[in-house]
Chains A and B, each alone.
Chain A
């Protein structure tokens, strides 16, 4: 498809398990963002990838969170030893490059930790 694709759309898991969320950005977009959104709230920045540069990880809330972007395209966000407070919608966005460029969002992964 032409848009940003995220999978799975929903994930329910038990506390303590690891989860992996996937983002497939728009082809050719060099910038990729991960955000977290609690119900009906604004977005919390997690991490930013730009081309081959070192990612900006300043928004990751703890060392249980990590992200990779392979080949400058697909990205995975991994949460280890999940906690109930990790429950949220995780959104991915890609952009053409420069910071002022519009971000194109996927529909998110709704993560529920039991």
Chain B
């Protein structure tokens, strides 16, 4: 059972375009993290959101946690080739120690 579904699975856009990646679940999470992973490397944390409705901005990246803490989105403004990578969301279970990772969104930004 995949608790976190990400969409789209693949995304190829031109430099300068905007994009949004979605992370959806029917489960409630105590917190949610977004990571970016490049080939041959481990994921690197971008942000952690904890409060329902929370919005965090990191330069051109805007992260939102849904009011019910079941879903999240990542919006990138004016994408750059350096944004290319696999974007992963991860939800922390309300009980226990697990983080449930999403299915991933592979982003390619074409110069």
Contacts and interface: CB of A to CB of B under 8 A. Distances in A.
B42 A45 contact: no
A51 B43 CA distance: 23
Interface in B18-35: 30-31, 33
Interface in B40-58: 40-45, 48, 50
B101 A44 contact: yes
B69 to A, nearest CB: 13
B42 A93 contact: yes
B105 to A, nearest CB: 10
Interface stretch (A68-76, A78-86, A96-104): A96-104
Interface residues of A, number: 25
Interface residues of B, number: 28
Contact of B98 (A4, A40, A58, A106): A58
B86 interface: yes
B97 A48 contact: yes
A42 B102 contact: yes
Contacts of B31: 99-100
A42 B103 contact: yes
Contacts of B50: 100
A50 B42 CA distance: 21
A33 interface: yes
Contacts of A40: 86, 104, 106
A23 to B, nearest CB: 11
A108 interface: yes
Give me the 10 closest cross-chain CB pairs, A-B, nearest first. A105-B42, A43-B101, A42-B101, A102-B45, A48-B97, A56-B97, A100-B31, A42-B104, A42-B103, A45-B98
24 contacts: A40-B86, A41-B104, A42-B88, A42-B102, A42-B103, A42-B104, A44-B101, A45-B98, A45-B99, A48-B98, A50-B97, A56-B97, A91-B43, A99-B30, A99-B97, A100-B92, A103-B43, A103-B45, A104-B45, A105-B42, A105-B44, A107-B40, A107-B41, A107-B42
